[in-house]
Amino acid sequence: MHTTESAAARYADIETWSTAQLVSGMIDSQREGLDAVAAAATALARAVDAIADRLGSTGRLIYLGAGTSGRIGAQDGAELPPTFNWPYERAIALMAGGPGALLRAVENAEDSRTAAAESLDALGINPADAVIGIAASGNTPYVTAGLEHARNKGALTVGIINNPGGTVGKAAEIEVLLATGAEFLAGSTRMKAGTAQKVALNVISTGVMIRLGYVYRGLMVEMRPTNAKLRERSVRMVMELTGADEATVRATLAQAGGVIKLATVMLLLKLDRTGGEAALERAGGNLRKALA
């Protein structure tokens, strides 16, 4: 069986390929990454439900990784607050070598079996939290030890790996195997292994947010309209959800402080801001429940 460290015979002479062949070959390899994610659909669904059940109103989603895997996890977590208004303090990325390793590699950091546990303890890891460990090799000591520690503290643990049989998958309560096999460039897991990890994390985090009620009718109703583009998007969303004209929507959004779901409740239930806020509070902030 080929692993991410294997040197595949079909790629043995890529330096002699034409540029067109190189591009085509790398694109085909990326498709294999997507196929590996599709094969892991059952495990991904289990992870989505388990994380959503665990987080509740206080739990944190914590990403744990080294190198490329750690950077991909950090990217996924960083997108949750602007996309879903998920609290920044509830989306945390722990990177082998510390925050500086996100931009510059820190040698040997991934070999530490104590650093992750120390960082988790500093956060006060507890049973309300969910920890996702990501490691292409499946054997990264930093990730393995971190997952073992988190699990001992009662947190939910998910291990995303690209090679079967590793310590990371065994350390986690839920193993997600993305069997991407040999890379186009042997051992370069920033390629299809990284692509598969990115897609898998997109699926998990978006699925969790949907399960938690942060999406309504396929729209990002919790989105923070923090720039001109997003403010215009918020106007279009409220128009679509309510059927109100643009001028009415803009005026209501202004009254609602730019909060999409509040403006939607105000328009559909014909409430002022105080009444809309009360309706959302009774529904636990869930727009669908508030409108029901």
Residue 79 annotated among the catalytic residues of the structure: yes
Q: How far apart are CA 101 and CA 71, in angstroms?
A: 9
Residue 103 exposed, middle or buried by CB count within 10 Å (0-12, 13-18, 19+): exposed
Nearest residue to 216 via CA among 271, 263, 282, 171: 263
Q: Pick the catalytic residue: 32, 79, 173, 277? A: 79
* Neighbouring residues of 162: CB distance < 8 A, sequence distance ≥ 6: 3, 4, 36, 136, 137, 138, 177, 178, 179, 180, 189, 193, 196, 197
Q: Pick the catalytic residue: 110, 148, 175, 222? A: 110
Helix (H), strand (E) at residue 177: strand 174-177
Tell me what percent of the chain is helix, strand and coil, each rounded to the nearest 5: 55, 10, 35
Here the tokens at position 168 are: 């990371």
Contact status, residue 106 vs residue 100, Cβ threshold 8 Å:
yes
Residue 110 annotated among the catalytic residues of the structure: yes
The set of catalytic residues is: 79, 110
